Structure 1
Amino acid sequence: MPDLLLELFSEEIPARMQARASADLKRMVTDGLVEAGLTYASAGTFVTPRRLVLTVEGLTESSPTTSEERRGPKVGAPEKALEGFLRGAGVSRDALEEREEKKGTFYYAKVTTEGREAQVIIAELIPQVIRTFPWPKSMRWGSGSLKWVRPLQSILCILSREDGSEVVPFDVDGITAGNTTEGHRFMAPGRFAVSSFDDYSSKLRAAHVVLSAQDRADAIWHDATNMAFAAGLEVVEDAGLLAEVAGLVEWPVVLMGEIAEDFLGLPAEVLQTSMREHQKFFSVRNPATGRIERFITVANRDTADAGATIIAGNSKVLFARLADGKFFWDNDLRIARDGMGAWREALKNVTFERRLGSQSERVERIAALAREIAPMVGADPTAAETAARIAKADLSSEMVYEFPELQGTMGKYYALEAGLAPEIAAVAEEHYAPLGPTDDVPTAPLSVAVALADKLDLLTGFWAIDEKPTGSKDPFALRRAALGVIRLALENGLQFSLQALMIKAFEGGYDKEPQDAIELSADLIGFFHDRLKVLLRDQGIRHDVIDACLGGANDDVLDLLVKRARALQSFLDTPDGENLIQGYKRSANILAQAEQKDGVEYRFGADAKYAETAEETALFDALEAARKAIAPAVAEEQFEAAMGEMAKLRAPIDAFFEAVQVNADSDIIRRNRLNLLHDITQTCGSVADLTKIEG
């Protein structure tokens, strides 16, 4: 069975496109092979800045010959219909067979598709893949019609076997497939032939090309950390930068340089961001002081002077970049030390959203809401209002204008320079969190208060102007904001009425009438519940369990809602829970059928004096005990205890149904037993709406 080796060699592929391109190449080629009738044992892809590589092992030699019968038009159908069928089936008229069926007589053709050699299939498939490859951006060059991410220079395509290899012959826009490739652009120029993947990878390594992106990343990190450790320093971890740099070089050479003394006083985040964004440098930190003191760059070649010239050039460019950063920092410090008033004033001229006013107006709404929230989270209201007013001031700073990703981080530094307390300064950085499902959640009371206010203002604002997420579209990240509120509440164990806060926001910030505020907040609560379902499903809590806990009292107190859902889920995972649900549903079904048949409701309380059996009497007693125990447990938020009391009903309910016929001959006994079934549903339903439980 042959192995396929394909290399598409081009000018440099942008690092951000390499992983996706590698996956697309594998998908398109392997899907095409399978559709053509070929099978294979395994497939793998590799990518460097100048080449996309696919290897497919254990290909079948050819596709199988297949036969099938196709039904054509009716006998007597128009001639054009028959001719079209003949063309599609690839047979002549005299090869057709007529068969009589219920709906008439039809033509049938036996179509045989001959198997084809793998080489022929590949020669057709690869040009099609190349011409339809889904690059995010592509270009044409010269006079050809081919589009590729960068000019495609050569194609290597061979089938290798134990007894040798052969080129798969095809041509794409004048580029003829062959069995040669190139090594490193500078260190090993010139082409060489290969005969298999093992031969290819070993010759590339000898030609100063590390084929695997993971191998390049591992080598970079190993050399960088060792180099920093030798100097008593440490490399700041940056997985995204590591992956990007591994996509910029074929032969990684790690070099370390020093940062000029002029810039060592800049905040570490400024140095790190500037070097990462502009130069693709890793930051090297002094673990004793936390200062960024050196940088690591990755060259694409060995040099005779061990990289001295490269480091000198990079240091010169870096000096200019950091000089800009220091200029922004010095200018910003003057405004920060003056109380940041100029920045807050400037926010009046920055539109947040046309219908929602300026950033300054938004800050005022957040400050008012933070003051309301503060007592609920253990924060001082005046401090919360102060923190909210300065939290977004840095949006007007020069540093954040240059590096938007530093918003909040710079705000913390500037607030400290303005003489504000550290806990207030921390709010500027922490109130944006959490930004994602794995982001840390603030725990400091002031930060929690402003973070909640920030996100609730965002949500109530867009609900007030009827701009809600639709489908996959969520341009203002409202789903993320809702999830942030949920995590802030749950992970800090906060119990507050979400709807009450929303009503205050709608009435105070957007001048909504009380009834409108109630309706908008109710709709927004539904949006929160949808986000909560997604979060809890990821934690193993079934959607029907969550639904069963919605709609009751305090379902806008997220912490209580989740505690109830987790307790119910744990209960349902036990045999008692599973069997009790069946008993509950049996009671509810019999009751519903009887009420529909009789046209009355059986909800007036059963009387134990009409009990005829010991099992019936035992159920009355069990329900009375359960009601007395469940109500206070729920009131005290002891949901596990409430579920435990409900579990005690399992045995008496089972025994009741075993021993008693609900639809007794006596109307009095029948009505009493139906009322007893209602007592079962009411008692169990006081914990959650068990009708929502599936199964």
Structure 2
Amino acid sequence: MTDFLLELRSEEIPARMQAGARAELEKLFRREMDAAGIAPGDITAWSTPRRLALIARDLPEATKAVREEVKGPPVGAPDAAIDGFCRKNGVTRDQLEERDVKGRATWFAVIDKPGRAMADLLAEAIPAIVRDFSWPKSMRWGEASRSTESLRWVRPLSGIVALLGDEVVDCEIHGVTSGAVTLGHRFHHSGDITIGSAADYAVKLRAGHVIVDHEERAAIIRDGAAKTAADAGLTLVEDEGLVAENAGLTEWPVPLLGRFDEAYLDVPPEVIQLTARVNQKYFVCHPPRTGEGDHPQDGGGAPSAERLANAFVCTANIEADDPAVVVEGNRKVLAARLSDARFFWEQDRKTSLAEHAKKLERITFHEKLGTVADKVERVAKLAAWLVSDARAPNGDHNLARQAAELSKSDLVTEMVGEFPELQGLMGGYYARAEGLPDEVANAIRDHYKPVGQDDAVPTAPLTVAVSLADKLDNLFSFFNIGILPTGSKDPFALRRAALGYLRLVQANGLELSLEQAAQAWGGLGRAKLGTQVAEFLSDRLAVQMKDQGVRHDYIAASREWAGQVDARTDRIEARARALGAFLDTPDGANLLAGYKRAANILKKEDWHGIEGEIAHTGEEDPLALVDDPDMKAVIDAKMAERKAGAVSYTPEPAESALTEALDTAAPTAARAVEAEDFAAAMAALATLRAPIDAFFESVTVNDADPAKRAARLNLLARFRDAVHQVADFSRIEG
């Protein structure tokens, strides 16, 4: 057994591509080994800005000879089929062997593959790996790039190290031949580095000021940046994404602390952090904590983001003789960026948000939905309704409308033009600087939330109203023009809007009818639109709750209310959770089994029960044909008697017991459902478990006596209907 080293060297590999490149290199290497029937030991993939490397351990020195048998056409098949089979497998007719396959003579090709030296196998595998490598972006270069068949790589490939043990694996790719020589750090090492084997690869590169292990570089940056800040009495703002990015930009990382002018701290801290992070890849720091006053107040009195210190940590790629020179160069570049940010901040505040909002009339939201200004008007109308008429949540409708009308104003500001990820946040800052009420500023700031699964969910009434209105407008608007998510395509992020809506409703305990919301949004006659959106939301609810251990069929069984999809997702969720808890008990599991048995019998007999007779047969309601109040009372009493299960024979004890249980459980469950106490409704159903079990054990449903058969089928129909008024058990699987 021996180890194999492969290094593919090029110019700068973008940091964002390196993790994917490491995974791709390992995947393609395993593909080649699997095709040869080889199972390598541990595989390690590394990357730096200038190289991809792979070490595969415990490779055999040669592959084993193998014999393969390939089934072919039956004896007597057309000559063309047999000749084609021979060509495909590289054999002649006289090499075929006849075998019996299920009583039929069949030709087999027996192919002996001799063992191959591992070096020869790798010499073919390396070009295949490079040729099939997938990069998000790649290029061709040199004279060969005139042809579209030439090699593509992220940057021009400049060197290959390929060593099996201490021997070079000879191969050539695009004019680059393999060898044992690599290069060290661009500035700290001159000349070639000769690698002896995989065992000394990392050691020799380290001597050349290259740390080839990306995880080690990340640890140096993470720990070094934190220590550098702590040594200055500061606290580093942790940013794991920035750690990984800096690790992908350096081969010899050296964290250094710098300072910038305190005057820039007047700019919102999020702007400073984004400027440092996005443009320069710098970390920022918090100042020393001195007590409860560390979290200053914005001008309007609401807590702002934690203050930043006038300090940054950059990651140099060299060990400078005078680090101060490196820091000063980085400080100047950052100062220029911060100066731009401060200019945007000051310029934007010269115009009120209301004036900025007028510019939204020039931005198209969607060709069928008008401008962003049109969207804002719809959101404002819906937000005002939510806090007043809907009371979901309660609040001042004038402030809700004001916050909604200004919520998108920052989209046309210079700052959001530079940093689109600050939309909403900057609107909140500008509103507070303008002297608008805190509730309005906070609603503008947070109305996009929650964006992701880990994002905080607003709870302030005004913010909740504007956030709900914004998400509902997206859903209602696009559903209204027939644009729905399909498969993996969701260009207008409607699934994200749906999940945001659900989290807002859940976190704030809201009871909001989407039918009513749709009519408030678009006028009377929009209830059907609300039902359509409710159905979509219930599907997203099923996905969300599946991650929480609630089965999707429990959602399906709970989404019906009064014969249609429930327009309140909170009610669907409450019923599904109560249903899940009930069915996890022995009573629930046994009742479900009894229900399915009853439902199967009724389906087989095509029996709808007394409740369904009129709808099923088209028979006129007898009370509708009677004008005499006394006669109506008589007929009503007779119908009630029928529905109560009156029969013309003496019922068996189990029949009577089930009838009595239904007389109590059905109305109890109905009242509990009406009160939205689904746990109590399930408890009422639990009382039916023993009677239905006893019924099936001792009663013959399809009795020879037609009266008994009809009465017992009606009793099962009553049982089914009592269960259905709580949840649609027919949707439950298993």
Q: TM-score, normalised by structure 1?
A: 0.93
Alpha-carbon offset, residue 595 of structure 1? 3.1
- Which letter maps to 1:551? E
Q: Describe the shift of the 1:621–1:608 C-alpha distance in structure 2 as closer, same or farther (beyond 3 A).
A: farther
Alpha-carbon offset, residue 118 of structure 1? 2.4
C-alpha distance in 2, partners of 1:520/1:103? 64
Alpha-carbon offset, residue 378 of structure 1? 1.6
Q: Describe the shift of the 1:369–1:64 C-alpha distance in structure 2 as closer, same or farther (beyond 3 A).
A: farther
Report the counterpart of residue 59 of structure 1 in structure 2.
59
Q: Describe the shift of the 1:441–1:106 C-alpha distance in structure 2 as closer, same or farther (beyond 3 A).
A: same
Q: Describe the shift of the 1:470–1:634 C-alpha distance in structure 2 as closer, same or farther (beyond 3 A).
A: same
Report the counterpart of residue 164 of structure 2 in structure 1.
159
Q: Describe the shift of the 1:100–1:457 C-alpha distance in structure 2 as closer, same or farther (beyond 3 A).
A: closer
Question: 1:669 aligns to what SS in structure 2?
Answer: helix
Report the counterpart of residue 362 of structure 1 in structure 2.
375
C-alpha distance in 2, partners of 1:502/1:116? 71
- Which letter maps to 1:349? R
State which of 437, 459, 470 in structure 2 corresponds to 1:454. Answer: 470
Q: Describe the shift of the 1:623–1:334 C-alpha distance in structure 2 as closer, same or farther (beyond 3 A).
A: same
Alpha-carbon offset, residue 23 of structure 1? 0.7
Is the contact between residue 5 and residue 196 of structure 1 (CA under 8 Å) also seen in structure 2? yes
C-alpha distance in 1, partners of 2:602/2:491? 49
Question: 1:334 aligns to what SS in structure 2?
Answer: coil
Alpha-carbon offset, residue 668 of structure 1? 2.1
Report the counterpart of residue 318 of structure 1 in structure 2.
334
Gaps of 5+ in 1: 508-513
Alpha-carbon offset, residue 450 of structure 1? 0.3
- Which letter maps to 2:582? F
| CA displacement, residues 156-183 of structure 1 (integer Å, 9 cap, x when unaligned) | 12222xxxx3222211112112223222
Is the contact between residue 354 and residue 406 of structure 2 (CA under 8 Å) also seen in structure 1? no
Q: Describe the shift of the 1:651–1:549 C-alpha distance in structure 2 as closer, same or farther (beyond 3 A).
A: same
Report the counterpart of residue 8 of structure 1 in structure 2.
8
Alpha-carbon offset, residue 205 of structure 1? 2.4
State which of 517, 534, 546 in structure 1 corresponds to 2:543. Answer: 534
C-alpha distance in 2, partners of 1:599/1:275? 74
C-alpha distance in 2, partners of 1:596/1:642? 26
- Which letter maps to 1:18? Q
Instruction: Give the root-mean-square deviation of aligned CA atoms.
Output: 2.4
C-alpha distance in 1, partners of 2:718/2:681? 16
Is the contact between residue 38 and residue 118 of structure 1 (CA under 8 Å) also seen in structure 2? no
Is the contact between residue 387 and residue 428 of structure 1 (CA under 8 Å) also seen in structure 2? yes
Is the contact between residue 514 and residue 531 of structure 2 (CA under 8 Å) also seen in structure 1? no
C-alpha distance in 2, partners of 1:605/1:593? 24
State which of 538, 551, 560 in structure 2 corresponds to 1:551. Answer: 560
1:655 aligns with 2:694: yes
Alpha-carbon offset, residue 100 of structure 1? 9.1
Alpha-carbon offset, residue 106 of structure 1? 6.2
> Greater shift after overlay, 193-202 or 29-38?
193-202
Question: 2:704 aligns to what SS in structure 1?
Answer: coil
> Greater shift after overlay, 361-370 or 103-112?
103-112
Question: 1:210 aligns to what SS in structure 2?
Answer: coil
- Which letter maps to 2:271? V
Give the length in aligned residue pairs.
679
Alpha-carbon offset, residue 82 of structure 1? 4.8
Q: Describe the shift of the 1:210–1:609 C-alpha distance in structure 2 as closer, same or farther (beyond 3 A).
A: farther
Q: Describe the shift of the 1:76–1:434 C-alpha distance in structure 2 as closer, same or farther (beyond 3 A).
A: closer
Report the counterpart of residue 437 of structure 1 in structure 2.
453
> Greater shift after overlay, 253-262 or 614-623?
614-623
Is the contact between residue 595 and residue 601 of structure 1 (CA under 8 Å) also seen in structure 2? no
- Which letter maps to 2:136? P
C-alpha distance in 2, partners of 1:91/1:226? 69
Report the counterpart of residue 575 of structure 1 in structure 2.
586
After superposition, where does 1:75-94 map in structure 2 within 5 Å? 75=76, 77-78=78-79, 82-94=82-94
Report the counterpart of residue 636 of structure 2 in structure 1.
none
C-alpha distance in 2, partners of 1:23/1:59? 20
Alpha-carbon offset, residue 525 of structure 1? 2.2
Report the counterpart of residue 525 of structure 1 in structure 2.
534
Alpha-carbon offset, residue 127 of structure 1? 0.3
Report the counterpart of residue 169 of structure 1 in structure 2.
170
C-alpha distance in 2, partners of 1:457/1:128? 52
- Which letter maps to 2:678? F
- Which letter maps to 2:164? L
Is the contact between residue 65 and residue 112 of structure 1 (CA under 8 Å) also seen in structure 2? yes
Is the contact between residue 490 and residue 558 of structure 1 (CA under 8 Å) also seen in structure 2? no
Alpha-carbon offset, residue 411 of structure 1? 0.5
- Which letter maps to 2:720? T
Is the contact between residue 608 and residue 617 of structure 1 (CA under 8 Å) also seen in structure 2? no
Q: Describe the shift of the 1:45–1:599 C-alpha distance in structure 2 as closer, same or farther (beyond 3 A).
A: same
Alpha-carbon offset, residue 624 of structure 1? 2.0
1:635 aligns with 2:664: no
C-alpha distance in 2, partners of 1:599/1:276? 71
C-alpha distance in 1, partners of 2:653/2:103? 68
C-alpha distance in 2, partners of 1:2/1:151? 30
1:295 aligns with 2:300: no
Question: 2:139 aligns to what SS in structure 1?
Answer: coil
Alpha-carbon offset, residue 606 of structure 1? 2.0
After superposition, where does 1:90-105 map in structure 2 within 5 Å? 90-97=90-97
Question: 1:595 aligns to what SS in structure 2?
Answer: coil
> Greater shift after overlay, 471-480 or 589-598?
589-598
- Give percent identity, aligned residues only: 45
Q: Describe the shift of the 1:167–1:610 C-alpha distance in structure 2 as closer, same or farther (beyond 3 A).
A: farther
Report the counterpart of residue 705 of structure 2 in structure 1.
666
Is the contact between residue 66 and residue 115 of structure 1 (CA under 8 Å) also seen in structure 2? no
Report the counterpart of residue 416 of structure 2 in structure 1.
400
Question: 1:62 aligns to what SS in structure 2?
Answer: coil
State which of 355, 363, 367 in structure 2 corresponds to 1:342. Answer: 355
Question: 1:155 aligns to what SS in structure 2?
Answer: strand
1:618 aligns with 2:657: yes
Q: TM-score, normalised by structure 2?
A: 0.88
Alpha-carbon offset, residue 215 of structure 1? 1.9
Q: Describe the shift of the 1:304–1:693 C-alpha distance in structure 2 as closer, same or farther (beyond 3 A).
A: same
Alpha-carbon offset, residue 146 of structure 1? 2.3
Report the counterpart of residue 280 of structure 1 in structure 2.
281
- Which letter maps to 1:594? E
Is the contact between residue 63 and residue 118 of structure 1 (CA under 8 Å) also seen in structure 2? no
Question: 1:675 aligns to what SS in structure 2?
Answer: helix
Is the contact between residue 253 and residue 317 of structure 2 (CA under 8 Å) also seen in structure 1? yes
1:685 aligns with 2:694: no
1:268 aligns with 2:284: no
Alpha-carbon offset, residue 76 of structure 1? 7.6
Question: 2:230 aligns to what SS in structure 1?
Answer: helix
Is the contact between residue 65 and residue 112 of structure 2 (CA under 8 Å) also seen in structure 1? no
C-alpha distance in 2, partners of 1:574/1:158? 63
Q: Describe the shift of the 1:577–1:608 C-alpha distance in structure 2 as closer, same or farther (beyond 3 A).
A: farther
- Which letter maps to 2:414? E
- Which letter maps to 1:62? T
After superposition, where does 1:150-299 map in structure 2 within 5 Å? 150-160=155-165, 165-286=166-287, 287=289, 288=294, 290-299=307-316
Alpha-carbon offset, residue 609 of structure 1? 8.0
Is the contact between residue 579 and residue 682 of structure 2 (CA under 8 Å) also seen in structure 1? yes
| CA displacement, residues 86-109 of structure 1 (integer Å, 9 cap, x when unaligned) | 332222333235679999976543
C-alpha distance in 2, partners of 1:300/1:101? 67
C-alpha distance in 1, partners of 2:256/2:111? 65
C-alpha distance in 2, partners of 1:605/1:51? 82
C-alpha distance in 1, partners of 2:372/2:383? 16
C-alpha distance in 2, partners of 1:416/1:265? 14
State which of 500, 503, 508 in structure 1 corresponds to 2:519. Answer: 503
Alpha-carbon offset, residue 68 of structure 1? 0.4
Is the contact between residue 268 and residue 292 of structure 1 (CA under 8 Å) also seen in structure 2? no
Report the counterpart of residue 619 of structure 2 in structure 1.
none
| CA displacement, residues 321-360 of structure 1 (integer Å, 9 cap, x when unaligned) | 1111111111112213xxx232011111122112211111
C-alpha distance in 2, partners of 1:63/1:189? 43
> Greater shift after overlay, 632-641 or 397-406?
632-641
Q: Describe the shift of the 1:276–1:386 C-alpha distance in structure 2 as closer, same or farther (beyond 3 A).
A: same
Q: Describe the shift of the 1:578–1:600 C-alpha distance in structure 2 as closer, same or farther (beyond 3 A).
A: closer
Q: Describe the shift of the 1:83–1:652 C-alpha distance in structure 2 as closer, same or farther (beyond 3 A).
A: closer
Alpha-carbon offset, residue 73 of structure 1? 7.3
C-alpha distance in 1, partners of 2:246/2:37? 40
- Which letter maps to 1:427? A
